[in-house]
Amino acid sequence: MKVTFKVCFCCVRSYKVKSSEPPQEIKTLFDYYSQNGRMSVDEMLRFVIQVQGETHADSNYVKDIFNMLKHHGVFHPRGLHLEEFYRYLLSDFNSPLPLSGEVWQDMTQPLSHYFLYTGHNSYLTGNQLNSRSSTEPIVKALRRGVRVIELDLWPNSSGTEAEVRHGGSDTNH
């Protein structure tokens, strides 16, 4: 199975996935929040609030997600199957940041007039020579307002998957 990820607004990267099956962690999560192999609107709402932390969500919010998935051929009328849920988690519909259609700042100035808050080596727990890679620094950076995260992707030893790590140094992944 080939999975395509949007790198930025104009670039995409594709990776060949070893297995088209969702990872065990996703299966366990799906089993916990669903019944009889399908996740209903109410069950998805519970997942979105408890796991995703989207406390503003209501059943209409989840119905909107289901409608978006329906228009992309990833939907069953009685709820999401495991594979559909997995595809949703990897989709653009599951953005890690709130999507806002409104421009709330003056965006008419030259680019050099703006400050862009970014995170360099955002995944490292310490210095770039001998610290380890983790998701915790990324979460902290996003909570502080960082809007650009740098991830260094390197092929694993078998060349079948990508790993996030700082190449050419002693950092652990």
CB < 8 Å & 24+ apart, contacts of 17-24: 17/161, 18/160, 18/161, 22/82, 22/83, 22/85, 22/86
- Which candidate in 56, 71, 81, 166 is catalytic? 166
Going 73 to 76 to 77 to 82, the CA torsion angle's sign is: negative
Structure tokens at 90: 């990897």
Structure tokens at 40: 């209903």
* Known catalytic residue at 72: no
Cβ atoms 69, 86 nearer than 8 A: no
Q: How far apart are CA 173 and CA 165, in angstroms?
A: 5
- Which candidate in 72, 76, 120, 173 is catalytic? 120
CA distances to 8, 57, 111, 115, 148 from 63, rounded to whole Å, are 27, 10, 38, 37, 30
* Known catalytic residue at 166: yes
Residue (of 71, 21, 80) closest to 48 by Cα position: 80
The catalytic residues are 120, 166
